[in-house]
Amino acid sequence: MGDPGGGEGCPHGEPPAVLPPHSQQCSASGPAARSVSSRHAVPFYGADLWAEQPRSPLPIPIPTTPLGSEHHPDPNSRHHPLPGAIPHPSGAPQGVDPEAFSWFQAVDADRSGYISVKELKQALLNSNWSAFNDETCLLMINMFDRSRSGRMDVYGFSALLRFIQQWKNLFQQYDRDQSGSISFSELQQAFSQMGYNLSPQFSQLLLSRYAQRSSNPSIQLDRFIHICMQLQSLTEAFREKDTGMVGNVRLGYEDFLTMVMTRML
């Protein structure tokens, strides 16, 4: 992609001189970040998740190729769910877990062979029986939708369920008191075990952003998944820029925009 942020001369793009409409909207502050900049004597911004043995199972890698695309069912097979057709009643398509298949059929209320964000919401539940939030459902659809149509077929759904189950296992592991949600200390522990070296202020920031307001804010499964995936993705992006592995980068305005936008899940 071009200059890794260390180049001289004018950066690509300029922030606007005149603020766009609604610029007086409040945005969350980031003062906590400044205080931790010199926290680490050795510039070390996260364990080498790939270089050394992880202490606990690695976070689930974000699929880079659309899942389900590797399955190319024989069009002559009676198990092939043609778009728009009602899935074959007697068995799951090849490569699809039977339980996932029956679940899919239950969720695909209009029998279209695809499920939408709305239908997906009905399928995914947190431990307190609340539905997965819209953001996470949209994220899931985008990741597992190979057709970019904003909906998911049975293969994508099956892969999604496996993916969520892996995350759920991790979540339950980190939810030490089995409360069904992850508290501040549990979140800190989770990050540490995943190999991240992040300050308590950072965990605090996440909780204030993602947890529901209560005396003891904690994070449900859906947001936990979302957070971890964002963290992974953003860390990858940062590493691409920080080729010297110093834990610090110089970013131009447009660089920054591109980094975040292309990676934002």
Rounded Cα–Cα distance for residues 19 and 41 (Å): 38
Residue 131 CB, nearest approach to other proteins (Å) = 10
| Angle ∠(254,1,148) on CA atoms, nearest 5 | 85
Rounded Cα–Cα distance for residues 223 and 221 (Å): 6
Residue 14 CB, nearest approach to other proteins (Å) = 4
| Token pair for 83 | 């778009």
**CB closer to other proteins out of 103 and 202:** 202
Which DSSP helix (H) or strand (E) runs through 241?
helix 221-241
**CB closer to other proteins out of 25 and 90:** 25
Beta-carbon neighbour count of residue 88 at 10 Å? 14
Residue 136 CB, nearest approach to other proteins (Å) = 12
Residue 18 CB, nearest approach to other proteins (Å) = 4
Contact 228, 196 (CB under 8 A): no
**CB closer to other proteins out of 34 and 78:** 34
**CB closer to other proteins out of 49 and 205:** 205
Helix axes 221-241, 154-174, angle to 10 degrees: 90
**CB closer to other proteins out of 28 and 51:** 28
Considering just the CA atoms, what is the radius of gyration of the chain in Å? 21
Residue 190 CB, nearest approach to other proteins (Å) = 15
Residue 72 CB, nearest approach to other proteins (Å) = 22
Rounded Cα–Cα distance for residues 189 and 175 (Å): 10
Residue 212 CB, nearest approach to other proteins (Å) = 6
Any idea how long the chain is?
265
**CB closer to other proteins out of 97 and 257:** 257
Rounded Cα–Cα distance for residues 218 and 187 (Å): 9
Judged by the rule CB under 8 A, the positions of this chain that interact with other proteins are 10-23, 25, 27-30, 32-34, 36-37, 39, 43, 45-46, 133, 148-150, 198-199, 202, 205-206, 209, 211-213, 230-231, 234-235, 238, 242, 247-254, 256-258, 260-262, 264
Beta-carbon neighbour count of residue 36 at 10 Å? 13
| Token pair for 6 | 């260390």
**CB closer to other proteins out of 23 and 76:** 23
Helical spans, DSSP H, in 154-220 = 154-174, 184-194, 200-210
